[in-house]
Amino acid sequence: MKEEFGKYEKVVYDGEVFEVLETADRTGMMKLGPLFKASYEYAWADEEMVVSLNRAIKLRIIDEETVDKLTDYSSIGEGLCNTNEWEATDAPFVGKDGSGKNDRADGKLRWDLLPLAEIEDIVRVYTEGAKKYADNSWQDIPDGFNRYLGALMRHLVAYTKGERYDKEGFMHLSAVCWNAIALLYYDKHNKGLIEWKSQEKE
């Protein structure tokens, strides 16, 4: 009997435990994320090669002790309420390196917050575009802003109608993001719908 998997379900693939990030598409490929690992890595797997966690335990593909270790939440939050090491004061936070720096409080850009797996989907669009045309040729085309706005809307409408991938195999939403970045580029270079001089601070 073929198993069906839901989003966020725990499954076993290639002897390791994963979480379902995207259920199987029309080709039978599933997007899986490694369980309880602080990384942005993910894997694409054929649905036929994936087994539910419970079934994997029954078939002894993975042992129950390993699963228990992965699903042990007892240590989560340990030390969060311990104020012995860092007393609450009005003084600036001083890191363990003694630098006195706190990048988050200093207002620095949080590049670490970018969802890299999804950014990679957008980069694929750039990569294939460069192969098809030329590097950065998109930055200066006639009536570029309106053309990219139209392309963005076409991809968005296709997705809302239930189509995940375009005819070239790219996710419609990654193309929506790519076109949105193009619109941002054109606007910042004063080639958008609104002239920058009308928005400048006095």
**191 inside domain:** yes
**80 inside domain:** no
pLDDT greater at residue 153 or residue 128: 153
Of 18, 52, 70, the position where a domain reaches its end is: 70
Asked whether the predicted pLDDT for residue 147 surpasses 90, the reply is yes
**171 inside domain:** yes
pLDDT band at 86 (very low <50, low <70, confident <90, very high): very low
The pLDDT tens digits of the residues spanning 94-105 come to 444 455 555 555
- Is the same domain home to 128 and 189? yes
Partners of 11 in the β-ladder: 18, 52
The pLDDT value recorded for residue 198 is: 60
**164 inside domain:** yes
Instruction: Say if residues 16 and 34 touch (Cβ distance below 8 Å).
Output: yes
**82 inside domain:** no
- Is the same domain home to 65 and 121? no
pLDDT greater at residue 193 or residue 83: 193
Domain containing 138 equals 113-197
How far are the Cα atoms of 39, 42, 119, 152, 165 from residue 115, in angstroms, in the given order?
10, 12, 6, 21, 20
Compute and round to an integer the Cα radius of gyration of the chain: 24
Number of domains in the chain: 2
Asked whether the predicted pLDDT for residue 64 surpasses 90, the reply is no
- Is the same domain home to 61 and 121? no
pTM (whole model) above 0.95: no
- Is the same domain home to 126 and 190? yes
The pLDDT value recorded for residue 174 is: 94
For a pLDDT cut of 70, what percent of the chain falls above it?
A: 74
**1 inside domain:** no
Task: Give the DSSP H/E element, type plus range, for residue 182.
Answer: helix 172-188
- Is the same domain home to 61 and 117? no
**119 inside domain:** yes
The pLDDT value recorded for residue 78 is: 46
Average pLDDT (144-166) is 94
